[in-house]
Structure 1
Amino acid sequence: MCFTAREAIYLASLGFQDLLVGYPTWHAEDISAVARAIAEGAQITLMIDSVDHIQQIETIASQQEVCIPVCLDLDMALSLPGLHFGVWRSPLRTLEQIRPVLNSIVAAPHVALAGIMGYEAQVAGVGDQYPKSAAKNRLVRYLKQRSIREVAARRTATLKLIESYHLPALRFVNGGGTGSLHTTRAEAGVTEITVGSGFYAPALFDNYRDFRYQAAAGFAIEIVRQAHRGIYTCLGGGYIASGAVGRDKQPQPYLPTGARLDPLEGAGEVQTPVHYPGPLKLKPGDPIFLRHSKAGELCERFKTLLLVSNGTINEEIPTYRGDGQCFL
């Protein structure tokens, strides 16, 4: 899964296939570039959730005489009176809203429905075991359980509706994420789950009750001075995750055990003070190891990642930044 059309085109140029752009593409030149890549043999699927999306893609694809595969994005948020539990993504929440989009696909000879996607972010991306938050945790768990039932029913009903159109069989039904792996996989209609950041097991996933993954990625910042007894100031470190601003979006000290960020300064752009009262005698030049909060922070900030096994660096691989790429 990619997050922009340009990223998909870049990966296709490196030989990757079966690329799904996870968000809608509107810019005409980007759609045109996808059409050219498909004409040259790339397998790229664009995300859609409206008649406008279909018409835009059809107009451009017809000019290049190419059929572009699309994926129908479903809204999976739980809407209750006074509460929207989920994220604002697709406007497609009911079968009545989906039908006009399917009709538009049928009427567009240069667009083909390849799959559907429904990301239940309120299940996959919301922790339910935060320390000192018992009441909130119970509420989130209740809302998650209610969401899981509604998400499954919504996805099943959508698949039945699509079957009634007698279109070619879908290539995939994409659902969920790392935090919903154990529930999304229980749905018979789902063929793939986008686990994404789960391969890294970043710090945000420490706050889930139903699973615990082993930390698999992080970064080191160098101590450059000792500001006070037990306070070591490091260079850089403020690699903050996206989303609503909060302390949980900061990187978290991992080693040495017992290290913590300063509550007022946090992780800074140019310096990060770390409190460490432990037995190790730290000095300038020593590293403090941290875990990032989400997934993209490492590849946005560092040119390469080191692959380590049993204390040995086995390989150094470039990130998008290292390759000189920037898609947003």
Structure 2
Amino acid sequence: MAEAGRTRRWTRRAAMVGGGAVVLGGAAVLASRKGDHGGAHDRYFLALSAALRKAGIAHPVLVVDQQRLDRNIAAARATLKPAALPLRVVVKSLPATGLIDHVARGLATNRFMVFNGAMLDSMAGRADADLLLGKPLPAMEYAEFVDRAGAEAAGRVQWLIDTPARLRQYAEIAAARGAKLRANMEIDVGLHRGGFADGRTLAEAVELARTFPHVAVDGLMGYDAHVPKMSDPDAAYAASQKLYRTAIGVLREKLGVDPATLTLNGAGSPTYARHAQGTVANEVSVGSAFVKPVDFDLASLARHVPASFIATPVIKAGRMELPGNEWLTGPLTFMDPNAARAFFIYGGHWLATPVSPPGLQFSDLYGRSSNQEMLTGSTRVALKPDDHVFFRPNQSEAVFLQFGDIALFDGETISGFWPTFPVSA
């Protein structure tokens, strides 16, 4: 009897423990269940969708909002005005002639930073353009440009030099073609992506440049995009400025010129506002801030607004079902209501983030596609075929070249188009 009593007590205890485990497990499951983030287009995206329909655009398209673009231009102008810092437009981030011209007019600048041979070809025809390379190109590409554009055109460009070896290569090519070489020296101000890392190595390179009668050192370029990502951005910026100041001292000593007469390029979209508050550079480069892709949602760019979107139609819409594992659909959508519906869009797999309607997401289980990308959403996302889905590009340089002409949105209509540059890397 005693044994039987103990058995009953243990059975009841086991049942209580097991039941508690079920309750706790169930609570954990419910706690890990995602919320429903679905919704409908807001007024802005409804207006943009209506404008696209009226324009008869039924394919993926890159849209630039002209009013927002102008707001970003005004923000940059206001930011730089107290310091009277000139701005150099970054061509790779705005790869369309109309877009570049619009920004350049708004900032009253003829300074441009170019990053590859194809875009250099597009920009070199501007007689008044002040062109600076934003990265060192292979010597063969430099030679091809000199052969293609001519020695005079090549001599108007500032070519970025990051090592003594590249300087020698460029100098030999220029000498063989009777060209002048304007060398801008890349300095490492903390990003550690290359360039001269200290005053000694820079001084040696400048001395080497002076041994070539057809080579002139025209300035410095120091890119400090790492600064906002550091644990102490203020200290990181101060350190980068100290390194830049040392490099300026080298040019003053070795060239015997006033550094103010040289091109002392710095910044980039993430740090240009910081430079406006105090810098040893005498110009800043800005590109992405004018269209503000997702990767530039930074505190330093709080005055700027997203001005570029990808719009694409929905091809198919329905209940989301996992191929070959349909039985998982129920548990999956229970745990994540935002996986209840499937929307197959025209195109996809862009370097971009879905923004409207809210609650759309990619499916890690289904995978990505550049043909008919699947996005999922909750039952609150009422998209149907031919409705639009909107993305924000994560970056601008590569993404803007994937859609053909850029559509211009004036707040009510698609008011025109800006052809992009030829596709290039």
Q: Normalising to structure 1: TM-score of the pair? A: 0.80
Aligned-pair CA distance for 1:120: 0.9
2:362 corresponds to which of 256, 261, 265: 261
Q: Which amino acid aligns with 1:304?
A: D
* Distance change in 2, residues 1:38/1:267 (3 Å): farther
Higher strand share: 1
Larger RCO of the pair (alpha carbons < 8 Å, separation 6+): 2
Three-state SS of the structure 1 residue aligned to 2:255 is: coil
How do 1:27-106 and structure 2 match up within 5 A?
A: 27-28=139-140, 30-31=142-143, 33-34=145-146, 36-40=149-153, 43-77=156-190, 86-90=191-195, 92-106=196-210
Aligned-pair CA distance for 1:261: 2.9
* Distance change in 2, residues 1:31/1:61 (3 Å): same
1:237 corresponds to which of 338, 342, 348: 348
Q: Which amino acid aligns with 1:67?
A: K
Three-state SS of the structure 2 residue aligned to 1:187 is: coil
Three-state SS of the structure 1 residue aligned to 2:271 is: helix
Q: Which amino acid aligns with 1:178?
A: S
Aligned-pair CA distance for 1:3: 0.9
1:300 and 2:401 correspond: yes
Higher helix share: 2
Task: Please say if residues 241 and 279 of structure 2, whose CA atoms lie closer than 8 Å, have aligned partners that are also in contact.
Answer: no
Match of 1:175 in 2: 266
C-alpha distance in structure 2 between counterparts of 1:209 and 1:10, whole Å? 34
Q: Which amino acid aligns with 1:259?
A: L
Aligned-pair CA distance for 1:117: 0.4
Task: Please say if residues 38 and 44 of structure 1, whose CA atoms lie closer than 8 Å, have aligned partners that are also in contact.
Answer: no
Q: Which amino acid aligns with 2:307?
A: A
Task: Please say if residues 251 and 257 of structure 2, whose CA atoms lie closer than 8 Å, have aligned partners that are also in contact.
Answer: no
Q: 1:252-295: per-residue Cα shift (whole Å, max 9, x none)?
A: 11222333333445653222222333756311111100001011
Task: Please say if residues 347 and 371 of structure 2, whose CA atoms lie closer than 8 Å, have aligned partners that are also in contact.
Answer: yes
Task: Please say if residues 189 and 241 of structure 2, whose CA atoms lie closer than 8 Å, have aligned partners that are also in contact.
Answer: no
1:164 corresponds to which of 228, 237, 253: 253
C-alpha distance in structure 2 between counterparts of 1:194 and 1:278, whole Å? 45
RMSD value over aligned CA atoms?
Answer: 2.4
How do 1:317-328 and structure 2 match up within 5 A?
A: 317-320=418-421, 325-328=422-425
Aligned-pair CA distance for 1:216: 0.3
Aligned residue pairs total: 289
Task: Please say if residues 62 and 110 of structure 1, whose CA atoms lie closer than 8 Å, have aligned partners that are also in contact.
Answer: yes
Q: Which amino acid aligns with 2:152?
A: A
Q: 1:73-119: per-residue Cα shift (whole Å, max 9, x none)?
A: 01122xxxxxxxx34222x1111111110101111111111221000
Task: Please say if residues 226 and 233 of structure 1, whose CA atoms lie closer than 8 Å, have aligned partners that are also in contact.
Answer: yes
Match of 2:231 in 1: 141
C-alpha distance in structure 2 between counterparts of 1:260 and 1:148, whole Å? 36
C-alpha distance in structure 2 between counterparts of 1:185 and 1:326, whole Å? 34
Task: Please say if residues 295 and 395 of structure 2, whose CA atoms lie closer than 8 Å, have aligned partners that are also in contact.
Answer: yes
Q: Normalising to structure 2: TM-score of the pair? A: 0.63
1:122 corresponds to which of 226, 239, 263: 226
Q: 1:213-267: per-residue Cα shift (whole Å, max 9, x none)?
A: 2110011122111241532121222122xxxxxxxxxx11122233333344565
Task: Please say if residues 26 and 56 of structure 1, whose CA atoms lie closer than 8 Å, have aligned partners that are also in contact.
Answer: no
How do 1:286-297 and structure 2 match up within 5 A?
A: 286-297=387-398
* Distance change in 2, residues 1:6/1:274 (3 Å): closer
Match of 1:12 in 2: 124
1:272 and 2:373 correspond: yes
Unaligned runs of 5+ residues in structure 1 are 78-85, 127-139, 241-250
Match of 1:25 in 2: 137
Match of 1:252 in 2: 353
C-alpha distance in structure 1 between counterparts of 2:155 and 2:206, whole Å? 24
Task: Please say if residues 32 and 60 of structure 1, whose CA atoms lie closer than 8 Å, have aligned partners that are also in contact.
Answer: no
Q: 1:26-68: per-residue Cα shift (whole Å, max 9, x none)?
A: 3335335237544158721110012112211211211222212
Q: Which amino acid aligns with 2:357?
A: P
> For structure 1, which segment, 177-186 or 93-102, has the greater mean C-alpha deviation from structure 2 after superposition?
177-186
1:313 and 2:414 correspond: yes
Larger gyration radius, structure 1 or structure 2: 2
Task: Please say if residues 219 and 262 of structure 2, whose CA atoms lie closer than 8 Å, have aligned partners that are also in contact.
Answer: yes
Q: Which amino acid aligns with 1:110?
A: H
Unaligned runs of 5+ residues in structure 2 are 1-112, 320-339
C-alpha distance in structure 1 between counterparts of 2:368 and 2:380, whole Å? 23
C-alpha distance in structure 2 between counterparts of 1:266 and 1:16, whole Å? 49
C-alpha distance in structure 1 between counterparts of 2:374 and 2:152, whole Å? 53
* Distance change in 2, residues 1:114/1:68 (3 Å): same
Three-state SS of the structure 2 residue aligned to 1:71 is: strand
Q: Which amino acid aligns with 1:287?
A: H
Task: Please say if residues 20 and 46 of structure 1, whose CA atoms lie closer than 8 Å, have aligned partners that are also in contact.
Answer: yes
Task: Please say if residues 58 and 108 of structure 1, whose CA atoms lie closer than 8 Å, have aligned partners that are also in contact.
Answer: yes
Q: Which amino acid aligns with 1:160?
A: G
